[in-house]
Amino acid sequence: MNKGALEKEIEKAFEAPAQLLEEAVDRVRENEKKLISKAPFKRAEEYWNTLGPGLTTGAADDDPSGIATYSQAGARYGFQLIWTSFFTFPLMAVVQEMCARIGIVSGQGLAANIRSHYPARILYAVTALLFAVNAFTIAANLGAMAAATRLLLPAASSEMLVIFFALFSLFLQIFTTYARYAKYLKYLALGLLSYVAVALSLGLDWGDVFRHLVLPSITASKEQFFLLAAILGTTISPYLFFWQTSQEVEERIAQGGATVVYRSEINNKTMRRMRIDVWSGMFFSNLITFFIFAATAGTLYAYGIRDIVTVEQAALALRPFGEFAFWLFAAGIVGTGLLSVPVLAGSAAYALAESFKWKYGLYLKLKQARAFYGVIIVSMLLGIAANFIGLDPIRGLIYAAVGNALIAPFVLFFVVRIAGRKSIMGRYASHPLISFAGWFTILVMAASGAAAIWAVV
């Protein structure tokens, strides 16, 4: 082989690997472009997967009781009290984070922790009050859902709708797995976005809205103090404390961890994920509160409708502003009820089961935790019965909210104390600033409860 031929063979030998390398580099670049284009969706998916008990707890807070209270406040005082949606956010988030940490670190619910560290008779009194208020709230929520549905389906029977919604909620809790049930709750939470759509469709004066948001004002009247107590009670509600704590335990079990074993695996990543979930859920809750205030104040108050007596009236008052707003508002009441009624019944069941040391948990089947599921069933039956004796949904919901404001300081005392004790929480005990925020929340709730009592005396 001559020299020229040899050089050509050598060139060919090097050309093939070079071409392959160039093709490989091109493929890497194409994959990088795909990954970059998918990154926002990937991050959104990861964020959604991070959300769990915090999101559903926050969304359940905007139940028909909350909607009725915020609607009444918006109709009566316009944008004046919209600042409460901003004021309650950090208080609510701090408290729910405390509850979540208690559940993760202790591996048991709030009532079980109270029983372990305080006299049982105190716990019995608290859970009895919680059960009574929750049953009353369930009744009012079922009535509100039925009334809202009749706006969309006028031929439907109110009584049959109340029974249907109660049985449907029972089915979700008793006959579905916890993993599937939790997924349903997450997607139901998205239904609250209907209130954002309603407010944005009305052409409000947003400059006026945000001015009232950042510049708080109060009219020193008994009526407004009573309504403020209702707003605080429906936002910082005791049933959410019990639900959040127990749901963190259920979440750990659903992920395959026994509570005691899992405790040794807790790390900063676990707490960071929980904090993202809780603060996101509470922000979502207060964002919806803001838009409900904005929608009702910008319509009902602006057109001289000062008193909301029924759920139908709250929705029908929006009809002149378009069928879209009317339908979304009515459908939103049904959606939030489907989310909150199981939470109300479940939180009472957790509290009673832990108080009396019954087997409990939505991950268990009915035959494994009869007493726990029995409380849920009784709560629903009481809710149904109350609607057959002429319960006024709007007034019932507002009084239920005030009832929560009266109970909240007592339950919050145990939450703040337990979350701050290093003997219980170890290195995850509350930071002094967090504890201060907790005690401040207790003071605010105690003051609102006292104001409510003064307003009705």
What are the DSSP calls for 30-63, one per residue?
HHHHHHHHHHHHHHHHHHHHH-SHHHHHHHHHSS
Average pLDDT over the chain, rounded to whole?
82
Residue 296 CB neighbour total at 10 angstroms = 30
CATH number at residue 242: 1.10.4160.10
pTM recorded for the entire structure: 0.83
| From 58-62, 272-276, 277-281, 433-437, the region with the lowest mean pLDDT | 58-62
What does the CA dihedral 139, 97, 405, 170 come to, rounded to 10 degrees? Answer: 10
- Domain annotation covers residue 163: yes
Q: Tell me the C-alpha distance between 280 and 260, whole Å.
A: 28
User: pLDDT digits over 353-391, tens only?
Assistant: 999 999 988 888 888 999 999 999 999 999 999 888 876
Q: With H, G, I as helix, E, B as strand and everything else as coil, classify residue 83.
A: coil
Q: What is the CA radius of gyration of the chain?
A: 26
Structure confidence at residue 28 (pLDDT): 55
Structure confidence at residue 209 (pLDDT): 92
Structure confidence at residue 283 (pLDDT): 92
Please count the structural domains in the chain. 1
Tokens of 150: 């009749």
- Domain annotation covers residue 74: yes
Residues 6+ apart with CB under 8 A from 342: 169, 172, 173, 185
Q: Find tokens 């944008």 and name the residue.
A: 79
- Structural domain harbouring 176: 55-456
- Domain annotation covers residue 245: yes
- Domain annotation covers residue 30: no
What does the CA dihedral 290, 291, 293, 294 come to, rounded to 10 degrees? Answer: 120
Structure confidence at residue 261 (pLDDT): 44
| Local structure of residue 156 (DSSP, 8 states) | S
Residue type, 384: I
Structure confidence at residue 97 (pLDDT): 95
Does residue 360 contact residue 350 with C-beta atoms inside 8 Å? yes
Q: Tell me the C-alpha distance between 195 and 201, whole Å.
A: 10
CA angle 231, 237, 240 (to 5 degrees): 140
State the DSSP H helix or E strand holding residue 388, giving kind and residue range, or none if neither.
none
Phi and psi based region of residue 203 (left: phi greater than 0; alpha: psi -120 to 50; beta: remaining): left
Inter-CA distances, 110 with 3, 58, 204, 239, Å:
88, 17, 42, 11
Instruction: For residue 83, name the pLDDT band (cuts at 50, 70, 90).
Output: very high
Q: Tell me the C-alpha distance between 436 and 439, whole Å.
A: 5
Burial string for 78-102 (b: 16+ CB within 10 Å, else e) reads bbbbbbbbebbbbbbbbbbbbbbbb
User: pLDDT digits over 191-246, tens only?
Assistant: 677 778 878 887 888 999 999 999 888 887 888 888 888 889 888 989 899 999 98
Find the mean pLDDT for residues 432-445: 94
Tokens of 363: 């991950």
| Local structure of residue 190 (DSSP, 8 states) | G
Instruction: For residue 181, name the pLDDT band (cuts at 50, 70, 90).
Output: low
- Domain annotation covers residue 40: no
| Local structure of residue 390 (DSSP, 8 states) | T
Helices and strands in the chain, H and E counts:
20, 0
Tokens of 233: 């009670």
Structure confidence at residue 417 (pLDDT): 95
Structure confidence at residue 111 (pLDDT): 93
What are φ and ψ of residue 47, in 5° steps?
-65, -45
- Domain annotation covers residue 429: yes
- Domain annotation covers residue 22: no
Does residue 189 contact residue 395 with C-beta atoms inside 8 Å? no
Nearest C-alpha neighbor of 198 from the set 60, 295, 270, 115 = 295
State the DSSP H helix or E strand holding residue 324, giving kind and residue range, or none if neither.
helix 323-355
Residue 39 CB neighbour total at 10 angstroms = 10
